Chains A and B, each alone.
Chain A
Amino acid sequence: MTFLNPYSLFGLLLVSVPIIIHLWFRKRLKKILFSSLLFLKNAEERRLKWLKLREILILICRCGFVATLFLALARPQLKSTFLKNRLASVYLIIDNSWSMAYGNNFSRMIEIAQNIIMRYSTNSEFFVVPLCPQEELDEPFWTNRNGALQILKKIRLTYYSGQLKDVLMKYPIKDHRFPAEYLYLGDGQELVFKNLNPGDLRNFFWIKFPSGSNICITQVSLPDPITIPVDKYQLLVNIENFSHHNWRGTVEITANDFDIKQECKIPANEDLNLLFTLPIKIQRGIVIISEDSLTPDNRFFFSKSIPHKINLLLVGVDSYLTYALRPADRINSAFNIDGVNNLGGIDLRKYDVVILNGIKEISEGEAVRLETFLGQRNTGIIIFLGDELGENLKRFITRNLPIDILERVKLRGYATIDFLDFDYQPFSIFKETSGFRNIKFFEFFRTIANNGIRAKLSGNNPLVICNKNFSVVTTKFSEKNTDIMFHPFYIPFLHRMIYGAINRNPDNEYRIGDKIDTTKILKGPDGEYIRNGGFVIPGFYILSGETIGVNVIPEEGNLKSLGEAGAKSLDIRLIDLEKISDRSDFSPFFLFCALVLILLEMILLVV
């Protein structure tokens, strides 16, 4: 045991003070010579014993109080022996996701990582990997202690989110000389351990850092179904309170010469949708919430494209589709719809989108016209496969989409949507929803597709397959085939499919880490050209001349840790920071003892 303030130990000499006072008071007591103590002892033998004991106990308490007080002031420290001189090949994963910006977590983590490296034997080797990608870092490699310390110095906090599974798959451990040990340093959110299964990890230690509470802007969207505004439009801001206490604060939208605020209160672990009415000229800006423990998600850079009216040709008229695309309660629908039963004599040039709804067959001439239509800029075709599929139509589909269309399946029961590709920009708004599993599908065409699948039914059956501006839905939305029309997600789902088909997404927003077409020109928030890179920091970017908003992944703001039971289920050894810290400070313990002793003395004096 060492002492940070050893001079305070001289205070221990003061332990003699209570003893001296005790003896002095005892000396001051009058001495009475008495014939015999026989009756005095007999009178209260137990009480006298207790009084004598009490006197000693009080003296001990007083001496103990002085001793523990000065021991506390001397700041006693005990050195930790955890991992001391261990010889191992250490796979060190440093959590540099933005949730580690909480308090001084990141800097402390780096310090502790350095400390841990120095604890291992000098012959140990280290493989230092950041949890989130960091471009300026070289590919990780096995190195000695000094090399590991150098890499640690280069690791920076990022705006990314990361998962252990991705890291371990990207850099599988190999060529190690000693028994391998994995060390993960971080807050260990559930997101970090996502997709890991029991047995995936061996010899895995997690040095846990505290995670706080957080208020997060999860989404800023246009309310569905989108209508075409005249002079004002509405913007929906979703804020989630991931903390265990109620949050009261201000939500502000700021843009050029425009500012609007709303006060709100969000109960713990709940979310709130706030509706803002903005002038149509303000289509990009920043949503700001008042400060809380994590700042990256306190700002949301939104960039909306309020769509123009979309001219839509519906071939195969259907009341469910017509209603969905032009709801009766929306006076300014985003769609102008022309409904026909076949393509004969229709001039496709005046339309943006053509929907073939359950059409059995098309002529070869119509197929040519449709292919020409597809080749135009900002046009798209969506085909809902009906009960039967003619050869010309099938050929047209397979020419434009890499799929094999097999037989039509009529289920005895039903299938639900098992997978929705949230990376497909139009579908990203459904990220937080799980209600799709309640939608039933009874009949569909079985298809095989290698890529472009945006939605799948249970049994690995593609539902929506897209290739650029051509989309195929493997069933027709009719009462016989599905009940999707009676579901609240029906209209948003359909609308998003149409926006996707013509590449007119109203939400020009991306998340940090999203992949973009590298052929497109990307300019960063400061106007710099970004080559071969993605989004690194939140802000407004310019992608092929269009302003986009880039924000952090909101799930990272949910600071819910995996917990001890969760770690145990994944065979992870959870290590407390106290154990890893170089020295344990015993001052609080001694202060506590001093407090207990003084309380004990008071009790003894009263008794």
Chain B
Amino acid sequence: MLQKRTYLDPEVLARISRFALKARLVVEGFLTGLHHSPFKGFSQEFADYRPYIPGDETKRIDWKVYARRDRFYVKEYQEETNLRGYILLDKSGSMGYGDKITKLDYGKFLGACLAYLLFKQKDGVGIITFDTKINEFIPPSSRKMNFTRIIEAIENTKPGSETSLSDVLFELAQRIKRRGLVIIISDLFDNPELVLRSLRSFRYRKHEIIVFQVLDRKEYRFPFYETAIFQDLETNEEIVIQPDSIRESYKKKFDNFLDNYKKKMLEAHIDYQLLYIDTPYDQALYTFLQKRAKLL
């Protein structure tokens, strides 16, 4: 039997067909590996006490604690304290790139894992898939039925056409009224300035944002040598290229592209994580949990 930790490897996961199972294996595998659980103390019924503040409903005062300590405390329940997580999954054509698993496959696993994690924590979780427009919008909820719908939606997501990341993000920023945690899984192949402007509009509405930029190492290294016709997965445009003649210049441009995102995300207080499709999922999950810990 495979060790649970093994399920953090994307390639191994690719061989497992059931999505819900995958997500469960990943999350549990990940959690088993943690020495100190960051979720210590959360519960289904009760979350925590906090001192009474005038304006709180009196019915929420725990009179037993008052009797013991002579102070007013109110109980905080999970519904009030848990996050509303929005997973934004980019399903544009460029996300369909990859050999053994595609960037979209990776993004889908990652999205499923995060959804499972949020669900398991009783956080509300929803998913939005998009390319040039929003394709699927499942509002956040902590109900099991919702989780099942999310997993189904993720499972059915196929690479779409061109991307218009900035426009979609801007539209979503307008649409999502209640503040929450916005998790964006995308290769961010769009104009960085426009994308960042859209992300700032999320921040303006007090949303917390985690951006997972998913790339294939081939996109970075450009390991092609023979003259070939390169076809754009989004536009189907073709050009004949001698890779040797442009490799240096390409890598320079790509580095600038990544560095620019990294720098600008930091400036905008947006958590940013670059993930290659061979990166184990625990890195992403760890980033997520750190962020969540900050928020709670």
Identify the A interface with B (CB < 8 A). 26, 29-44, 47-48, 51-52, 55
Cα(A40)–Cα(B254), bound, Å: 9
Contacts of B94 in A (CB 8 A): 35-36
Cα(A42)–Cα(B224), bound, Å: 17
Q: How many residues of B contact A (CB 8 A)?
A: 35
Cα(A519)–Cα(B257), bound, Å: 115
A29, A48, A52, A55: the one within 8 Å of B229 (CB): A29
Chain A residue at minimum C-beta to C-beta distance from B238 = A31
Q: List 30 A-B contacts (CB under 8 A).
A: A26-B240, A29-B227, A29-B229, A31-B228, A31-B230, A31-B231, A32-B228, A32-B229, A32-B231, A33-B97, A34-B231, A34-B233, A35-B94, A35-B233, A36-B94, A36-B189, A37-B232, A39-B254, A39-B257, A40-B230, A40-B239, A41-B239, A43-B246, A43-B250, A43-B253, A44-B249, A44-B250, A48-B246, A51-B242, A52-B239
Cα(A48)–Cα(B103), bound, Å: 27
Q: How far is the CB of A29 from chain B (nearest CB, A)?
A: 5
Complex contact B250–A40 (CB within 8 A): yes
Q: How far is the CB of A56 from chain B (nearest CB, A)?
A: 12
- Evaluate whether A48 and B241 lie within 8 angstroms (CB atoms) in the complex, with A40-B246, A43-B253 already known: yes
Cα(A48)–Cα(B245), bound, Å: 10
Q: How far is the CB of B160 from chain A (nearest CB, A)?
A: 13
Q: Within 8 Å of chain A (Cβ to Cβ): is B226?
A: yes
Complex contact A35–B229 (CB within 8 A): no
Complex contact A30–B229 (CB within 8 A): yes
Label chain A's interface by main secondary structure. helix
- Evaluate whether A51 and B240 lie within 8 angstroms (CB atoms) in the complex, with A43-B250, A44-B249 already known: yes
Q: How far is the CB of A266 from chain B (nearest CB, A)?
A: 64
Q: How far is the CB of A396 from chain B (nearest CB, A)?
A: 110
- Evaluate whether A43 and B249 lie within 8 angstroms (CB atoms) in the complex, with A31-B229, A33-B233, A36-B233 already known: yes
Max chain A C-beta neighbours (<10 A), residue from B241, B242, B252: B241
Max chain A C-beta neighbours (<10 A), residue from B95, B187, B245: B245
Cα(A51)–Cα(B229), bound, Å: 13
Contacts of A26 in B (CB 8 A): 229, 240
Cα(A226)–Cα(B243), bound, Å: 94
Complex contact A32–B230 (CB within 8 A): yes
Complex contact B246–A47 (CB within 8 A): yes
B181-222, CB < 8 A from A: 187, 189, 216, 219
Chain A residue at minimum C-beta to C-beta distance from B251 = A43
Q: How far is the CB of A90 from chain B (nearest CB, A)?
A: 66
Q: How far is the CB of A45 from chain B (nearest CB, A)?
A: 10
Chain B residue at minimum C-beta to C-beta distance from A48 = B239
Contacts of B45 in A (CB 8 A): none
Contacts of B219 in A (CB 8 A): 35
**8 smallest A-B Cβ distances: which pairs?**
A35-B97, A35-B94, A43-B250, A43-B249, A37-B232, A30-B228, A44-B246, A31-B229
Q: How far is the CB of B181 from chain A (nearest CB, A)?
A: 27
Q: Within 8 Å of chain A (Cβ to Cβ): is B136?
A: no
Q: Within 8 Å of chain A (Cβ to Cβ): is B237?
A: yes
Q: Interface readout for B245-289 with A: 1 if CB under 8 Å, 0 if not?
A: 110011011100100000000000000000000000000000000
Cα(A150)–Cα(B197), bound, Å: 97
Chain B residue at minimum C-beta to C-beta distance from A29 = B229
Complex contact B103–A35 (CB within 8 A): yes
Complex contact A37–B237 (CB within 8 A): yes
Cα(A39)–Cα(B94), bound, Å: 13
Cα(A496)–Cα(B28), bound, Å: 138
Complex contact A35–B187 (CB within 8 A): yes
Contacts of B239 in A (CB 8 A): 37, 40-41, 48, 52
Contacts of A52 in B (CB 8 A): 239-240
Contacts of A55 in B (CB 8 A): 240
Complex contact B97–A44 (CB within 8 A): no
B95, B237, B250: the one within 8 Å of A39 (CB): B250
Cα(A52)–Cα(B228), bound, Å: 13
Q: Within 8 Å of chain A (Cβ to Cβ): is B234?
A: yes
Q: How far is the CB of B271 from chain A (nearest CB, A)?
A: 24
